[in-house]
Structure 1
Amino acid sequence: MEAVEDIVIVGAGIAGLTTALGLHRRGIRSLVLESSDGLRATGFAFTTWTNAWRALDAVGIGEPLRPQHCQLFGLQTTSTISGLSTADRNFDATETQRGHEIRCVQRRTLLETLANELPSGTIRYSSKVVSIEESGYLKLVHLSDGSILKAKVLIGCDGVNSAVATWLGFKKPAFVGRSAIRGCVFYEHGHGFEPKFFQYFGEGVRSGVIPCDDKSIYWFFTFSSSRKNEEMEESPAKMKQFVLGKLGKIPDNVRAVFEKTELDNIILSPLRFRPPWEILWGNISKTNVCVAGDAFHPMTPDLGQGGCAALEDGVVLARCLGETLREKQGMGSEEEYKRIEMGLQSYAKERRRRAFELISTAYMVGYIQQSNGRVLNFLRDRVLPSFLAGQLLKMTSYDCGKLSAS
């Protein structure tokens, strides 16, 4: 059986749901296909910088999310080799007024908020895409249950293993030789941490502790992978033991965060990215197909901008498609498909340079931060802390704009 849909979005993650909600705000219906049987919140939480809050406000969910997550008013970095602070940057009132807004948002809370704002039936679960083919102006989306959807617009928000990105000609994202262990911990009576982003750097490792609210803390630990590390992949207990053995000189209350984490709240992920030159020369869009989020620009987490960039994608894509589809003349004709193609090209043009800069800068910052040589360690701890902190803030000044071009 074949059904015709105007806009099919593959993947109910951050990029997919933001795009769907942005289109909904413009009065345009879409269908979101999710391969799982429910919303997935892999990774527990992520840092939302100023640029992300602009995107969240654009789709109308910034205000309900803010009270649920504390605002961070500082960034502190510490060497786990010496145990000494290398940088301590407070966002004072003047700086905050200029637009800095940083919070650590729980992924499930964000996804549920996005999904709850969408019309009933927008998300179709247990719908895995197995292949894509062309049929005139339409794209035929074949699902694992044997059904076929005919799409006027196909948007791939299906992560690093994106079927849509593959159809567009992108290669599989490259493994960078590092992995991340992430976790979250809940303190029934409050954790007592200041509302700051705490980062710790050692020889070849990097970790961070970030309060989400008064009772929840998100943490991460990135390290250079080896065959020995592969033994941990199926064992949260081994992951936890590995992290605790590599933390170095950190405050007791920070170490307690890792010790207190339940095994069910620990995951390991290899870090992958799309080489920047593929972003410059690849097909972000082609005819009536495009990609967004990790399907478009998988990057290392060293700037904390992966989820933020996915939110930006959703707003820009919804705006570009909204401007294209507001014209009702020629619906179903060659004229309409030319407008769709031009709208997606506008999206690709607007997002290409931004994605290139984010991927390149994240890789560079990660290389310096997670170095294990004497020279790079010295530069990281003594010379570059302010520069690296500045790079984090620089990337947050981007404004994806409103849903309407006017």
Structure 2
Amino acid sequence: MAQASARAVVVGGGIGGLTAAVALHQSGWRVTVLERAPSLEPVGAAISLSPNALRALDVIGLGDEIRGLAAWQGGGGGVRTPRGRWLSRSSADTVAERFGGPLVLLHRATLIDGLAARLPEGAVRTAAAATLDDPGDPAGRPARLRTPDAEWEADLVVAADGIHSAVRRTLFPGHPGTVYSGFTTWRVVIPVPGAAFAPHETWGRGQIWGTHPLKDGRVYAYAAAVTPAGGHAPDDERAELVRRFGDWHDPIPAVLAAARPEDVLRHDVHHIAEPLPAFHRGRVALLGDAAHAMPPTLGQGGNQAVEDAVVLACHARDLPAYTAARLPRTTAITRQAVKVARLNMMSNHAGTAVRDTVIAALSKAAPTLFLRGFDGIADWRPPQRPYAAGKAGTGKR
């Protein structure tokens, strides 16, 4: 238990930052979250949470609530070609049995709301862009930050300020930062009247599309394409998606027909190719994208941030132990995500034909082929016992 006077300041009110704030609060720290945006309303769409992250959420008593609010993924779905042929099929129950829990999907706002509700009133301050002035010294001076209207001292600063982290640049000014991953992404969450489909990800030549139902009846769809960085559609991003994916298999045309231009989010993908030397310096710890931004091809970006948060709460008084626990794991997962991106974003015609043939053949011979890529990832367990949620379980929905 931290001393009663110990103060932690979390820079960034996203999923990783709020999870860290809740875990530290439950461990006895006085916590303040500084979020630069005017509200905690997330800019984003849905998030897939794998069993490793759900077990981390069990530590703060939120896992069972999220399982109840989310849609289980994988049931009857899999990977398809643009014409609709199934290359592999998946089973939600098989995922749960292999990894000790389900893979679930929910809107990011649902998770943000659940996390924020577990913090004391007044703990979150929005419109509070923070600058780190001094990382402090664990054996002496506190860390120091400032916002436009205040100065802060802290026994611990948690930098969860995202992929373009200003705190990371302050701590490690010689690090090259992020690199462009070679592709851009689009995301949309909308109702699609009359849509009936199995969840799927579709792999084309240098392009992918995914369609997944949410528990509230809406549809989460995402797309990615190999394209130069910084690009934008000449008209609007919905029209760009129609040009790229409008002739792909059902229900993709129906999703595009239901979307409005303002529903579509587009973001280039960047990742940290050269690992940081550490995830801490002085009294400051980095987590999530600020520490180890990765391509979304394993769906682990947010999941690893949640892991970071509960591990950090365990080692909040020993930040070298936090780095030792997290840096090797997240470096390996980032490298694996980059390798998967090279496979599913392959542009060469002959290469994609071979890829699809091999995937189809191996999936018939070994139906759990795709799940093997999550061995050592989805079966991770946190160092702490759950505070409130108890067992992760594999119970049916």
Q: TM-score range by the shorter chain?
A: 0.7 to 0.9
SS of 1:231's equivalent in the other structure is coil
What letter is aligned with 1:316? V
Residues 7-16 or 161-170, more deviating: 161-170
Counterpart among 350, 358, 370 of residue 383 in structure 1: 358
1:168 aligned partner: 171
2:205 aligned partner: 203
Is the Cα–Cα contact under 8 Å of residues 55 and 401 in structure 1 kept in the other structure? no
SS of 2:251's equivalent in the other structure is helix
**What is the alpha-carbon distance in structure 1 between the residues aligned to residue 134 and residue 14 of structure 2?**
23
1:223 aligned partner: 225
1:223-372 pair list within 5 angstroms: 223-226=225-228, 230-232=231-233, 238-247=236-245, 250-275=248-273, 277-279=274-276, 282-321=277-316, 340=317, 343-372=318-347
Distance 1:91 1:71, change over 3 A: closer
SS of 1:118's equivalent in the other structure is coil
**What is the alpha-carbon distance in structure 2 between the residues aligned to residue 26 and residue 138 of structure 1?**
20
Is the Cα–Cα contact under 8 Å of residues 93 and 102 in structure 2 kept in the other structure? no
Per-residue Cα deviation, 1:310-347 (whole angstroms, up to 9, x for no partner): 111111111112xxxxxxxxxxxxxxxxxx3xx11111
Is the Cα–Cα contact under 8 Å of residues 236 and 261 in structure 2 kept in the other structure? no
Structure 1 portions without partners, runs of 5+? 322-339
Is the Cα–Cα contact under 8 Å of residues 143 and 154 in structure 2 kept in the other structure? yes
Residues 71-80 or 28-37, more deviating: 71-80
Per-residue Cα deviation, 1:91-130 (whole angstroms, up to 9, x for no partner): 4469537514111111011001100111111111111023
2:145 aligned partner: 141
Report deviation, 1:362. 0.5
SS of 1:181's equivalent in the other structure is strand
- The number of residues matched between the two structures is 370
Is the Cα–Cα contact under 8 Å of residues 59 and 403 in structure 1 kept in the other structure? no
Report deviation, 1:90. 1.9
SS of 2:292's equivalent in the other structure is coil
Percent pairwise identity: 25
2:395 aligned partner: none
Report deviation, 1:64. 1.9
Counterpart among 189, 213, 231 of residue 184 in structure 1: 189
Report deviation, 1:397. 1.7
Distance 1:363 1:14, change over 3 A: same
TM-score normalised by the chain length of structure 1: 0.84
SS of 2:315's equivalent in the other structure is helix
Report deviation, 1:150. 1.3
Report deviation, 1:65. 2.0
SS of 2:254's equivalent in the other structure is helix
**What is the alpha-carbon distance in structure 2 between the residues aligned to residue 202 and residue 61 of structure 1?**
37
Distance 1:113 1:240, change over 3 A: same
Is the Cα–Cα contact under 8 Å of residues 103 and 212 in structure 1 kept in the other structure? no
What letter is aligned with 1:168? L
Is the Cα–Cα contact under 8 Å of residues 9 and 156 in structure 1 kept in the other structure? yes
SS of 1:222's equivalent in the other structure is strand
What letter is aligned with 2:63? G
Distance 1:131 1:317, change over 3 A: closer
1:397 aligned partner: 379
Distance 1:190 1:48, change over 3 A: farther
Structure 2 portions without partners, runs of 5+? 364-368, 388-397
RMSD: 2.4
Residues 87-96 or 50-59, more deviating: 87-96
**What is the alpha-carbon distance in structure 1 between the residues aligned to residue 66 and residue 129 of structure 2?**
30
Report deviation, 1:207. 1.2
1:336 aligned partner: none
TM-score normalised by the chain length of structure 2: 0.86
**What is the alpha-carbon distance in structure 2 between the residues aligned to residue 310 and residue 388 of structure 1?**
23
What letter is aligned with 1:395? I
SS of 2:278's equivalent in the other structure is coil
